Amino acid sequence: MTPLSTALQSPPAAPEILRRCRELVAPALTEAVGGLHPWVAEMAGYALGHCEMGGAPAVRGQGKGVRQALAVLGAEAAGGPAEAGVPGAVAVELVHTFSLLHDDIMDGDALRRGRPAVWKAYGTGPAVLAGDALFALAVETLTAPATPHAAAAVRHLSAALRDLVRGQADDLLFADRPWRGPESVRVGEYASMAECKTGALLGCALALGAQLAGAPRETVTALDRAGRHLGVAFQIADDLLGIWGDPAVTGKPVHGDLRQGKKTLPVLLALTASGGSALAELLGSSAVLDDTAVRRAATLVERAGGRAAALREARRQLAAADGLMASASLAPRPAEELRALLSSLAHRTI
């Protein structure tokens, strides 16, 4: 097996893995959303990329369906049928979409996947309502199957949601803390935030699939922990894209995170380096940086080694995920698909 930490190129199978899982989950996801109030269902469909405003079929493609794929593969890796992971796949996809709806409002992000965010398209109040509906629907989805694992699955999802809220709270609070000094954000605090905000749901997706397939507790725990390490790597990749990403790919303005003053890992690592003083002075000079200032900030982060150090930490997190997967008793073929997919996701090459 090729370790995640060294499989830096996207395997050709990764897009096919996602497509297969999306097609399996799509009928159940559509049915679940279709049970909502028609107006709320339209907003949910818009958020999921299924339709445009007014309900017309979507012009742009929908999201990759990362979390739903992890749930399906988690079930298969545990030795169960792919169908066993579908309720978990629907639940995590609904929760992920709910979190994006609310994140965009909290962060003031007007765009999501290159088009107006739900709160810009429908209004803030309606977007909050749609997010609440998706959250409730996710829990209902897990309780619907008459399986002996449903109650445990709901508890697992609830714990992941608690961590997701914790991570989001820390991320919001980081914004008011200084760039340097005793009250500044430490790298360890960032790692805890990223694990909760991003890793909790990725770990939950993998674990739910295995749990619904009847996997032993040790396997469920190993997959949950592997997904959490992946989540930190995933968040670091997102941080890098937030500074140096192509807007045509990310759907967001270039240097957006720097402009908003977000405490991302490349910046935090650059600030601890020997050349971090100039960066700290620049970031602390104004509440909002203009175009010239954000370009200079991005250059200073890179010169101080923040970009390279963040990439090293992402690879370290991938190695930890790889080790946890190797320690679990997984079915060989689904395990290989999981490894291929996780490597691709962490490096945003699909």
* pLDDT, tens digit, 9 for 90 and up, residues 194-205: 999 999 999 999
Rounded to 10 degrees, the C-alpha dihedral 193/198/201/205 comes to: -140
Highest-confidence range of 141-150, 172-181, 244-253, by mean pLDDT?
172-181
CB 160 within 8 A of CB 203: yes
- Quick one: which of 243, 263, 300, 257 has its CA closest to 183? 263
Read off the tokens for 259.
Answer: 């402009």
The 10s digit of each residue's pLDDT in 93-144 is 999 999 999 999 998 889 888 899 999 999 999 999 999 999 999 999 998 8
Tell me, what's the pLDDT at 298? 93
211 burial level (CB within 10 Å; 0-12, 13-18, 19+): buried
3-state secondary structure the chain: CCCCCCCCCCCCHHHHHHHHHHHHHHHHHHHHHHCCCHHHHHHHHHHHCCECCCCCECCCCCCCCHHHHHHHHHHHHCCCCHHHHHHHHHHHHHHHHHHHHHHHHHHCCCEECCEECHHHHHCHHHHHHHHHHHHHHHHHHHHCCCCCCHHHHHHHHHHHHHHHHHHHHHHHHHCCCCCCCCCCCCHHHHHHHHHHHHHHHHHHHHHHHHHHCCCCHHHHHHHHHHHHHHHHHHHHHHHHHHHHCCHHHHCCCCCHHHHHCCCCHHHHHHHHCCCHHHHHHHHCCCCCCCHHHHHHHHHHHHHCCHHHHHHHHHHHHHHHHHHHHHHCCCCHHHHHHHHHHHHHHHHCCC
Residue 340 predicted with pLDDT over 70: yes
| Residue whose entry in the numeric block shows the structure tokens 């807007």 | 247
Structure tokens given for 148: 């002996």
Most confident range (mean pLDDT) of 101-110, 195-204, 234-243, 276-285 is 195-204
Is pLDDT above 80 for 348?
Answer: no
* Residue keyed to tokens 């997010």: 131
Structure tokens at 66: 């990362």
Res. 283: pLDDT tops 60? yes
pLDDT of the residue at 347: 64
pLDDT at residue 350, as a whole number: 39
Q: What is residue 6's predicted lDDT score, i.e. its pLDDT?
A: 40
Q: What is the pTM of this model?
A: 0.89
Q: Measured between alpha carbons, how far is 50 from 33 in angstroms, rounded to an integer?
A: 11
Percent of the chain past pLDDT 90, that is, above it, reads: 67
Provide the angle, in degrees to the nearest 10, between the axes of the packed helices 200-212 and 150-174.
180
The one-letter amino acid at 96: H
Asked whether the predicted pLDDT for residue 289 surpasses 90, the reply is: no
Cα–Cα distance for residue pair 2/285, rounded to 1 Å: 46
What is the spatial distance between Cα 259 and Cα 71, in angstroms, rounded to a whole number? 35
